[in-house]
């Protein structure tokens, strides 16, 4: 309550209204929160997460910088377990996988298999698993394939590559040779729910080539 000048009668105070700039500022902050953007507004300044690639957009509010979120780039972390380890590398900018290199010399016997150690450990991006895939050159020219190629997100051991040699001659691997490629793939972790029965489908139990060429009956 305040008194009017020249009068003893009190005058009711009206509630303070936010200025247009303050209202727009609040609106911008709430929009950022709703979009779950990796930014925080502090004293009209925007703090940006290290993992966010952003470009600055024009703000509708004076003196407030509003970032336009471009993309959050997943990061694959790795650590060397010995001085024999090699940095995972890509053959080209848009190559699907990172080349994994052998830390030691190995011999993959003909018609046999061998575990090849890379001496690196990795930390995959959240929501991803690592798929160890064969290299096309080794598969085509030397009949080498990769087995057990799944790396779980929480695995922290030495990344090993199981090589199968389907050729008739032993295959020699030297230190630093590229033996496989690591592909980071998104994955979901569904909950398991048991049901008494499942709904029927048009395909039903058909499998093992049931949708391909019809089996020819012998006469």
Place of tokens 């690592």: 130
pLDDT at 1 (0 to 100): 56
Please state the pTM of the whole predicted model.
Answer: 0.64
pLDDT at 34 (0 to 100): 47
pLDDT at 208 (0 to 100): 76
Give CATH 2.70.40.10 domain extents, the chain: 77-186
Of residues 180, 176, 186, the one with CA closest to residue 164? 180
The CATH architecture of the domain made up of 77-186 is Distorted Sandwich (2.70)
pLDDT at 163 (0 to 100): 98
Q: What is the DSSP string of 47-116?
A: EE-TTEEEEEE--SSTT--EEEEEEEPP--EEEESSTT----B-SSTT-SSEEEE-SS-EEE-TT-EEEE
Residues of the chain with pLDDT under 50: 31-37, 39-42, 51
pLDDT at 104 (0 to 100): 98
CB atoms within 10 A of CB 46: 19
pLDDT at 67 (0 to 100): 65
């Amino acid at each position: 309550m305040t008194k009017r000048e020249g009068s003893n009668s009190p005058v009711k105070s009206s509630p303070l209204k936010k200025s247009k700039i303050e209202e727009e500022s609040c609106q911008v902050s709430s929009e950022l929160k709703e979009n779950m953007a990796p930014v925080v507004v502090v004293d009209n300044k925007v703090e940006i997460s290290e993992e966010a690639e952003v470009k600055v957009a024009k703000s509708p509010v004076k003196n407030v910088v509003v970032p336009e979120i471009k993309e959050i780039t997943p990061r694959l972390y790795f650590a060397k377990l010995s001085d024999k380890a090699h940095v995972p590398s890509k053959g080209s900018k848009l190559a699907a996988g990172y080349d994994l290199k052998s830390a030691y010399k190995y011999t993959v016997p003909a018609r046999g298999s061998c575990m090849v150690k890379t001496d690196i450990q990795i930390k995959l991006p959240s929501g991803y698993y690592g798929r160890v895939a064969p290299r096309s050159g080794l598969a085509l020219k030397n009949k080498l394939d990769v087995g057990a190629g799944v790396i779980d997100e929480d695995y922290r051991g030495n990344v090993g590559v199981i090589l199968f040699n389907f050729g008739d001659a032993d295959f020699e691997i030297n230190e630093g040779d590229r033996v496989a490629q690591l592909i980071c793939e998104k994955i979901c972790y569904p909950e398991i729910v048991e049901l008494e029965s499942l709904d029927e489908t048009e395909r039903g139990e058909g499998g093992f080539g049931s949708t391909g060429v019809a089996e020819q009956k012998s006469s």
